[in-house]
Amino acid sequence: MLSELKTNSSYKRLSSKPINVLESLIQIWYSLELIKAFVRRDIKIRYAQTSLGVIWLFAQPLAYLFAIFFVFNTSFESRIDNLPYSLFAATGLMIWTYVSFTTTQTGNSLLGSLEIIRKTYFPRIIIPIAKSILGLIDLSVICFFTFVLLMYHQVSISMNILALPLILFFTTIVSMGIGTLVSILIVRFRDLQHIIPFSMQLGLFISPVIYPSTVVTNDLPGYLQYVYYLNPVSGLIDAVRWSILGLEVNIMGVVISCAAGLIILSISMLLFNRIERDLSDKL
Amino acid sequence: MSLLLSVKNLSKVYKLNKAEMNSFRETFRSIFNRQEQIRNEFFALNLASFDLSSGEILGITGPNGAGKSTLLKILSEVTYPTSGEVEIFGRVASMLEIGTGFHPELTGRENVFFNASLLGMNRAETEQKFDQILAFSEIGEFIDTPIKRYSSGMYVRLAFSVAIHTHVDLFLIDEVLAVGDINFQEKCKDKMKELSAAGAGIILVSHNQRMLEEFTSRLLLIDGGEIIFDGNTNEGLKLYGRNLD
């Protein structure tokens, strides 16, 4: 019964019965204010006490891109599919930076919010959601620099660009799915905390961030190609390169990546819903 | 006087694992060692029913480990009951701890806004109440200083001010009033009496007999997870005193 939900802030019924997925979605909708508050707080904590403050936001992606720009554009003059390498790398980094940031941040978020979880109630899923939104700031900065590079190299964009918001939206929900799954696992197995940084380094190499996916898939026989796309990041990066740079894309690969991403998201949401109520007792 | 809270046959069972399986090693070990998986069940709470009406101030006391905090945790939704049901007709502010979510690097002002949203207020409501919160806390110009530079008294005053200024119908307070200086304690008591006169319900968990005596009219005595007394505060405290001897 909807009327029994926490949606109506003036009536609550608490019992041993867990809430279902639909009910938790409704709760999220009613918690938008709180999500905003978490994001605002995270932004402030991130830049509190640093003398440069928000400038750091631009410093990191700029440093990345400058390094790539100078090393590859000037020294090697390397081009991929007739495109400057810096553009190629920037589009890969756009997705990868977001995925790795969100996975790391979200992954540690439940354990890191231990104190709040033990002392007050709110839909716990807000914590991972807020972290995914936080990552959007960095994503926009890299996006901005990518378009600056596009203009610098006078590369024209096509209608494919219209799909970019959809691809980025997909990136956010898939990253949230991965991050939430990691955060649940970390609550259960604390050991995993130490594996995340390593996995992120590994992920950089098994995803087509600094190389084109064709380097891997061209040498793979038949259906084995698609195994590469079981990593959702592979398909997402290919899709972004198709959207911004107009590169050819392995449609089946992207579909597999999207499906894999959605499956991870569903599993993590279902698991989260199951463990949410136990969190304060288990943490 | 309308019904604010209705608790029916509430129980909470904790499973005492011999080994908390927080790491791979412990999980593997427990797979091969079945005996460790046998769990002891522990009734933290096994309550009869009770109600609370608006405007009522209810004190809860009892020995350590009696289940007072577990009850408050269930009412604040931090944990869920194993059986039974709670109905709450109104908004709740739970102060299991004051200043939940306070971050040392953030300023008093920033922390007020975050803490208030955890207590269910939106930004507009907090902005509207901000001057009152600031005045009550007596923090003054330090409101824009990171709270890691606050004295513990300032911290407590600010945290309590936020909580007490939320628009809620039911306050759940766990022994948090014991902090702060006498003047501020008095001020908090006055403010809470004012809120209760305006119709808010207050549940106060405390070990402080004097506080209970002067502040509450009704007392719930809890021992071993069960309600052993529900009625007039003075009678309850006498009974509690006799049991202790």
Nearest CA in chain B to A281: B79
Nearest CA in chain A to B117: A34
Cα distance from B152 to chain A (closest Cα, Å)? 18
Determine the Cα–Cα distance for residues A17 and B19; give it in Å rounded to an integer: 27
Determine the Cα–Cα distance for residues B187 and B191; give it in Å rounded to an integer: 6
Residue type, A130: A
Q: How many domains does chain A fold into? A: 1
Interface contacts A/B by beta carbons within 8 Å: 112
* Residue B223 contacts residue B47 (beta carbons within 8 Å): no
Assigned domain for A11 exists? no
- Residue in B24, B76, B80 nearest the CB of A120: B76
C-beta atoms of A40 and B83 within 8 A:
no
Q: Is B227 helix (H, G, I), strand (E, B) or coil?
A: strand
Assigned domain for A282 exists? no
Cα distance from A15 to chain B (closest Cα, Å)? 5
- Residue in B27, B86, B97 nearest the CB of A14: B86
In chain A, which residues have their Cβ closer than 8 Å to the Cβ of B85? 13-15
CB-based contacts of B216: which residues, under 8 Å, 6+ apart? Answer: B57, B58, B59, B204, B233
Residues of chain A that touch chain B, judged by Cβ-Cβ distance less than 8 Å: 9-16, 18, 33-34, 36-38, 40-41, 44-45, 48-49, 115-122, 188-191, 277, 280-281
Residue type, B245: D
- Interface subset of B 92-131, CB within 8 angstroms of A: 92, 94, 96-97, 100-101, 103, 105-106, 110, 113-114, 117-120, 122-123
- The per-residue pLDDT for A1 is 30
B123 has pLDDT over 70: yes
What is residue A147's DSSP assignment?
Answer: H
Average pLDDT along chain B: 84
Q: Are strands B83-88 and B3-16 parallel, antiparallel or unpaired?
A: antiparallel
B195 has pLDDT over 70: yes
Assigned domain for A1 exists? no
Q: For residue A20, with 0-12 CB atoms within 10 Å meaning exposed, 13-18 middle and 19 or more buried, which class applies?
A: exposed
Q: pLDDT per residue over B208-229, tens digit each?
A: 888 888 888 899 999 888 888 8
What ranges in A69-125 are assigned the alpha helix state H? 85-112, 114-119
- The per-residue pLDDT for B241 is 82
Q: Residue A231 sits in which domain range?
A: 20-277
The answer to whether B199 contacts chain A (CB < 8 Å) is no
The answer to whether B77 contacts chain A (CB < 8 Å) is yes
Query: How many Cβ atoms from other residues are within 10 Å of residue A216's Cβ?
Result: 15
Which superfamily is assigned to B3-244 in CATH?
Answer: P-loop containing nucleotide triphosphate hydrolases (3.40.50.300)
Q: pLDDT per residue over A1-28, tens digit each?
A: 333 333 345 777 888 777 777 877 888 8
B167 has pLDDT over 50: yes
Cα distance from A276 to chain B (closest Cα, Å)? 10
- The per-residue pLDDT for A8 is 42
* Residue A281 contacts residue A251 (beta carbons within 8 Å): no
- Pick from B13, B82, B63: which is nearest to B42 by CA? B13
- Interface subset of B 22-51, CB within 8 angstroms of A: 22-25, 27
- The per-residue pLDDT for A166 is 95
In chain B, which residues have their Cβ closer than 8 Å to the Cβ of A190? 22-23
Q: B244 vs A238, which has greater pLDDT? A: A238
Question: Tokens 């009033």 — which residue?
Answer: B177
Q: Is B224 helix (H, G, I), strand (E, B) or coil?
A: coil
Write b or e for each residue in B204-235: b if 16 or more Cβ atoms lie within 10 A of its Cβ, otherwise e: bbbeeeebbeebbebbbbbbebbbbbbeebee
Assigned domain for A242 exists? yes
List of chain A residues with pLDDT < 70: 1-9, 49, 53, 72-79, 283
- The per-residue pLDDT for B214 is 85
* Residue B52 contacts residue B4 (beta carbons within 8 Å): yes
B132 has pLDDT over 70: yes
- The per-residue pLDDT for A4 is 36
In chain B, which residues have their Cβ closer than 8 Å to the Cβ of A275? none
* Position B42 confidence tier, pLDDT thresholds 50, 70, 90: confident
**CA A111 to the chain's CA centroid:** 19
Nearest CA in chain B to A186: B22
Mutate to test the interface with B, among A109, A120, A122 (most CBs of B within 10 A): A120
* Position B26 confidence tier, pLDDT thresholds 50, 70, 90: low
Assigned domain for A8 exists? no
Q: B191 vs B38, which has greater pLDDT? A: B191
- The per-residue pLDDT for B244 is 64
C-beta atoms of B106 and A48 within 8 A:
yes
Q: pLDDT per residue over A140-153, tens digit each?
A: 988 988 898 889 88
Cα distance from B217 to chain A (closest Cα, Å)? 26
- The per-residue pLDDT for A114 is 85
- The per-residue pLDDT for A225 is 84
Determine the Cα–Cα distance for residues A153 and A82; give it in Å rounded to an integer: 12
Determine the Cα–Cα distance for residues B133 and B161; give it in Å rounded to an integer: 5
Mutate to test the interface with A, among B80, B111, B176 (most CBs of A within 10 A): B80
Q: B71 vs B40, which has greater pLDDT? A: B71
Determine the Cα–Cα distance for residues B195 and A3; give it in Å rounded to an integer: 28
